[in-house]
């Protein structure tokens, strides 16, 4: 049977998706299954690994059925995933020994505070590119090994292993043959030395984490292993591409060259800029991370995230109730020529990069008797772009050069005013691709490269199709004043 499809498994935070592409990277079919979010205590978030695995099985079967595709026609599998979330399972039999501790989970805050107090922050940042925060995997591992001593005993004997979501899925797909991850996922654990490309022995010793639990780290494209013993896919399909979700989106947006950047405007916003083979240690509160490795070539990126992006539009809908659905915000905002001097700072959960103000609270500033819901809606959309612009400016300062243009995706990238405003305020071309499933696309592209279905990234770039380009066209905007008022508002949160 001709093998003409690529299966991309996108193991996300709230659902797992299976997207089947043809070899020209057109989407053929999609399957999706949500799973439960478990909140054992305030600030704690867990997932049930068996439920995640089942959600993958169901979504793959759904995608195959929707596309009327025989599973024997699948040439290769790519995996992309929620990053940092930590899974623990028995090496033999693959049984989870604890719920997955999710990236959002704050249970290891005290551990992080202790590391900071010990003055380890700079050393850790230099080695891993990351700031000490419960977000990343390593302090979740420390927490588990400390709080469940039986797990530590078995982990030290190599009987219990750790992995991020990609590693867990890969282990299950290969019936336990392979315990591996790719460099992009490894670089989010706060255990991986992004210079030497190996687990950092000094950090492991300091954190008392046994090396035996860690997966083998491999390039992002190439055969990791083959499917084996599954009831929903035949044996022998190569799993040949893996990358964390944000890195996969950068790849799916074809940002292959230094200085190319993408913004994913979802609930939050994630900005990544390709810095080529250079490690850019940030002086402006951004993270340094590995984008991918293809062959011997490692590509790095700098990353910054906005906590509240599309979520401010959800707040207009569910909190203020001035719109019925997210897309209605466009019409409401279009009914006024500008925000009438109103500035919204949606610091609902503090402010992320580059400001890092944990205690900040939100603010609506500049209200007059003439302020209406439309002005607040417009200012809310603008706040997504202004927060993103602060990260872009920090990235440019770190890189010492300008970002060429911005490729965009995510739910809020449908909003034309947001993209025009972003283009104008950041003085860049903003490009929205036809296929906005860029995360799954990135994993599919990596897996195609990994089995030689495509030759190189040049070939992939030719397949990138633009939906719409936005240029700095809102000429009437008083950009200087808008930026000044934004900074003034930020000072007040
Ligand atoms: P996530 O993957 O983080 O769940 P999505 O990429 O699915 O997010 O995007 C959903 C977000 O996009 C929501 O916060 C929603 O409010 C926002 N959104 C959807 N449509 C629009 C729109 N037309 N304008 C602005 N924001 C929108």
pLDDT tens-digit readout, 135-178: 899 999 999 999 999 999 999 998 999 999 999 999 999 999 99
Reported as a pLDDT band with limits 50, 70 and 90, residue 375 is: very high
Cα of 377 from ligand 1 centre, angstroms:
15
- Structure confidence by residue, pLDDT tens digits, 260-313: 999 999 888 999 999 999 898 888 889 999 999 999 999 999 999 998 999 999
Q: Which residue's CA is minimally distant from atom 1 of ligand 1? A: 266
Examine residue 461 and state whether it is found in any structural domain, yes or no.
no
- The C-alpha atoms of residue 68 and residue 61 are separated, in whole angstroms, by 10
The predicted structure's pLDDT at residue 329? 97
Asked whether residue 358 carries a pLDDT value surpassing 80, the answer given is no
The predicted structure's pLDDT at residue 295? 94
Cα of 314 from ligand 1 centre, angstroms:
8
Cα of 328 from ligand 1 centre, angstroms:
12
Q: Which residue's CA is minimally distant from atom 9 of ligand 1? A: 411
Reported as a pLDDT band with limits 50, 70 and 90, residue 351 is: confident
Please, what sign has the CA dihedral across residues 334, 384, 444, 292?
Answer: positive
The predicted structure's pLDDT at residue 225? 98
398 or 358, which is more confident: 398
The predicted structure's pLDDT at residue 218? 98
The predicted structure's pLDDT at residue 130? 93
402 or 352, which is more confident: 402
Residue 14 alpha carbon, nearest atom of ligand 1: 4
The predicted structure's pLDDT at residue 14? 86
Residue 313 alpha carbon, nearest atom of ligand 1: 16
Asked whether residue 409 carries a pLDDT value surpassing 90, the answer given is yes
Q: Which residue's CA is minimally distant from atom 25 of ligand 1? A: 412
Is residue 213 within 8 A of residue 231, CB to CB? The reply is no
Cα of 410 from ligand 1 centre, angstroms:
7
Q: Which residue is listed with tokens 């596309």?
A: 67
Cα of 265 from ligand 1 centre, angstroms:
7
Examine residue 66 and state whether it is found in any structural domain, yes or no.
yes
Question: DSSP class of residue 72?
Answer: G
The predicted structure's pLDDT at residue 475? 77
Reported as a pLDDT band with limits 50, 70 and 90, residue 187 is: very high
Residue 264 alpha carbon, nearest atom of ligand 1: 6
Q: Which residue's CA is minimally distant from atom 2 of ligand 1? A: 266
Cα of 317 from ligand 1 centre, angstroms:
12
Side by side, the strands of the sheet bearing 96-101 are 46-47, 96-101, 86-90, 160-164
Residue 410 alpha carbon, nearest atom of ligand 1: 6
Q: Which residue's CA is minimally distant from atom 14 of ligand 1? A: 310
CATH no. for residue 185? 3.30.420.40
Q: Which residue's CA is minimally distant from atom 23 of ligand 1? A: 327
The predicted structure's pLDDT at residue 356? 83
Which of 43-57, 196-210, 271-285, 373-387 shows the lowest per-residue confidence on average (mean pLDDT)? 271-285
Q: Which residue's CA is minimally distant from atom 7 of ligand 1? A: 411
Q: Which residue's CA is minimally distant from atom 27 of ligand 1? A: 412
Mean pLDDT of 438-452: 96
Mean pLDDT of 190-198: 96
Asked whether residue 5 carries a pLDDT value surpassing 80, the answer given is yes
Examine residue 285 and state whether it is found in any structural domain, yes or no.
no
Please name which of 342, 324, 335, 429 lies closest in space to residue 382, comparing C-alpha atoms: 342
Residue 414 alpha carbon, nearest atom of ligand 1: 23
Examine residue 257 and state whether it is found in any structural domain, yes or no.
no
Question: DSSP class of residue 73?
Answer: G
Asked whether residue 360 carries a pLDDT value surpassing 90, the answer given is no
Cα of 453 from ligand 1 centre, angstroms:
33
Cα of 191 from ligand 1 centre, angstroms:
32
Mean pLDDT of 167-196: 97
Examine residue 296 and state whether it is found in any structural domain, yes or no.
no
The predicted structure's pLDDT at residue 196? 94
Residue 311 alpha carbon, nearest atom of ligand 1: 14
Cα of 412 from ligand 1 centre, angstroms:
4
Mean pLDDT of 130-137: 90
Q: b/e per residue, 199-231, with b = 16+ CB within 10 A?
A: bbeebbebbebbeebbbebbbbbbebbbbbebe
To the nearest whole percent, how much of the chain has pLDDT over 70? 100
Domain that holds residue 122: 5-245
The predicted structure's pLDDT at residue 477? 82
To test the ligand 1 pocket, which listed residue (316, 322, 326, 439) has its Cβ within 8 A of the most ligand atoms? 326
The predicted structure's pLDDT at residue 178? 97
Asked whether residue 254 carries a pLDDT value surpassing 80, the answer given is yes
Examine residue 463 and state whether it is found in any structural domain, yes or no.
no
Beta strands in 46-107 (DSSP E): 46-47, 74-81, 86-90, 96-101
Cα of 293 from ligand 1 centre, angstroms:
30
Give the residues surrounding ligand 1 with Cβ less than 6 Å away.
266-267, 310-311, 313-314, 326-327, 329-330, 410-412, 414-415
Examine residue 109 and state whether it is found in any structural domain, yes or no.
yes
Examine residue 280 and state whether it is found in any structural domain, yes or no.
no
Considering its fold, how many domains does the chain have in total?
1
Cα of 211 from ligand 1 centre, angstroms:
40
The predicted structure's pLDDT at residue 324? 96
- The whole-chain average pLDDT of the chain stands at 94
Mean pLDDT of 380-408: 95
Cα of 269 from ligand 1 centre, angstroms:
10
C-alpha torsion 242→247→252→257, nearest 10: -120
φ, ψ of residue 435 to 5 degrees: the values are -95, 115
């Amino acid at each position: 049977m001709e093998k003409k499809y690529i299966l991309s498994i996108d193991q996300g935070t709230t659902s797992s998706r299976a997207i089947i592409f043809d070899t020209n990277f057109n989407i053929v079919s999609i399957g999706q299954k949500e799973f439960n979010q478990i909140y054992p205590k305030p600030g704690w978030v867990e997932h049930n690994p068996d439920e995640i695995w089942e959600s993958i099985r169901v979504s793959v079967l759904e995608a195959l059925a929707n596309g009327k595709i025989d599973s024997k026609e699948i040439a290769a599998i790519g995996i992309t995933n929620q990053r940092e979330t930590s899974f623990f399972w028995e090496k033999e039999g693959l049984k989870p020994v604890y719920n997955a501790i999710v990236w959002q989970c704050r249970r290891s805050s005290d551990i992080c505070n202790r590391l900071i107090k010990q003055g380890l922050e700079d050393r850790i940042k230099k080695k891993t590119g990351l700031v000490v925060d419960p977000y990343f995997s390593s302090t979740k591992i420390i927490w588990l090994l400390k709080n469940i001593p039986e797990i530590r005993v078995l982990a030290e004997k190599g009987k219990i292993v750790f992995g991020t979501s990609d590693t867990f899925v890969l282990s299950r797909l290969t019936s336990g043959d392979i315990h591996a991850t790719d460099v992009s996922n490894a670089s989010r654990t706060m255990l991986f030395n992004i210079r030497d490309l190996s687990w950092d022995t000094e950090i492991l010793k300091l954190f008392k984490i046994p090396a035996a639990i860690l997966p083998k780290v491999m390039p992002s494209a190439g055969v990791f292993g083959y499917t084996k013993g599954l009831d929903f896919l035949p044996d022998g399909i190569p799993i040949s591409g893996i990358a964390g979700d944000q890195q996969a989106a950068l790849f799916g947006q074809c940002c292959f060259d230094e200085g190319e950047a993408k913004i994913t405007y979802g609930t939050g916003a994630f900005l990544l800029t390709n810095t080529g083979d250079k490690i850019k240690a940030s002086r402006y509160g951004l993270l340094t991370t590995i984008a991918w490795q293809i062959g011997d070539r490692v590509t790095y990126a700098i990353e910054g995230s906005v906590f509240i992006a599309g979520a401010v539009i959800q707040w207009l809908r569910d909190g203020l109730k001035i719109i019925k659905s997210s897309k209605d915000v466009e019409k409401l905002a279009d009914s006024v020529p500008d925000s009438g001097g109103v500035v919204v700072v949606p610091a609902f959960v503090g402010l992320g990069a580059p400001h890092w103000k944990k205690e900040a609270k939100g603010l609506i500033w500049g209200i007059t008797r003439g302020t209406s819901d439309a002005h607040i809606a417009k200012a809310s959309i603008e706040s997504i772009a202004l927060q993103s612009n602060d990260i872009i400016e920090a990235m440019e300062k770190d890189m010492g050069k300008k970002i060429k243009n911005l490729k965009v995706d995510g739910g809020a990238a449908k909003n034309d005013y947001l993209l025009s405003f972003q283009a104008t305020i950041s003085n860049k071309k903003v490009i929205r691709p036809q296929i906005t499933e860029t995360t799954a696309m990135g994993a599919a592209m990596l897996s195609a490269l990994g089995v030689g279905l495509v030759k190189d990234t040049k070939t992939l770039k030719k397949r990138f199709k633009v939906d719409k380009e936005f240029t700095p066209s809102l000429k009437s905007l008083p950009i200087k004043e808008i930026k000044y008022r934004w900074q003034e508002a930020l000072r007040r949160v």
